[in-house]
Amino acid sequence: MNLEAINSDPLEIDREYPALLECFTLNSNECRLNCTLYIAQGRGPHPTIILFHGFPGYEKNFDLAQVFRRAGYNVMIFHYRGSWGSEGFYSVNNVLEDADAAIDFLRSEKCKKSYRVDSENIILIGHSLGGFTALMTAAKHPEIKLVASLAGFNVGLYGDMLFKSEKLFKSSVELWKDSMLPLRGITAEEFLNSAIENKENWNLINLVKKLKSHSILMVAGSRDDTATIEEHHIALVDSLPKGKAANLKSIILDSDHSFSDKRIALSEVVLSWLLEQNKKCVD
């Protein structure tokens, strides 16, 4: 698959194993999470991406899911506990637990047989808090080699900033309070206090040693006023391993937090990286 093909329909359709869209629930700590799985055409098994949305998740990146499926990847997007109709209550801790539950689900026999999932080739990609989730989860799963963070938000670093500034805390409550509407069981104050309480454990800079064996893509927006590039991108990139042995790619696009005016460019950057990693595995 080449980049020129991402916006064109396939020349041939696999009638026996067509592209599909499956909607179902997966279980996390006895709660049902709403889930959508984009299944690539072909017998497979297909490498499968978990595409984590952010906080609260207005931008769900369905357009990226379509592009990745067109290139031969399955893509799963799910909603964390207490968000967008999923059962349970929302918290960052629950988001991280739900990420592990999603991985376990993709490794089930049902996913292998019914959804053509290559359980040995799971890829983590996330936007904003989803980027944080992807990197945090990858640090616990050395067997998952590919991880991408798109406008990733370093929750622990933010917690440290809140801890040091009462003014920032108060302004953040005002900033985030309307974002709580799609979430159940949490207030803006509780969300911010959890970041403060976990400012060390959730600071991605403190996890760089656990990420040294991963292939990492980090994409940021130069006009991002939520996950500002100096604090949330450059500081982490500078902390990750450098040199010939490192496998880190850092890209800054001239865009905002949601890459609102660079969606095609974003899809090309991520897909190019995925195909490059796939070629390395083949070689």
**pLDDT tens digits for 262-277?**
999 999 999 999 999 9
| Region 224-240 average pLDDT | 95
pLDDT at 73: 97
Q: For residues 102-121, give the mean pLDDT.
A: 96
> What pLDDT was estimated at residue 62?
97
The domain limits of the chain are 3-155+208-282
Q: Which pLDDT band, with edges at 50, 70 and 90, does 245 fall under? A: very low
Average pLDDT, the chain: 93
How far apart are alpha carbons 146 and 280 in whole angstroms? 12
Asked if the peptide bond before residue 142 counts as cis, ω within 30 degrees of 0, the response is no
Long-range contacts of 8-17 (CB under 8 A, 24+ apart): 10/41, 10/70, 13/41, 14/41, 14/42, 14/43, 16/43, 17/41, 17/42, 17/43, 17/44, 17/116
Which H or E element spans position 37?
strand 31-39
Q: How far is CA 282 from the centre of its chain?
A: 25
The DSSP secondary-structure symbol of 232 reads I
3-155+208-282 has which fold?
Rossmann fold (3.40.50)
Whole-prediction pTM value?
Answer: 0.94
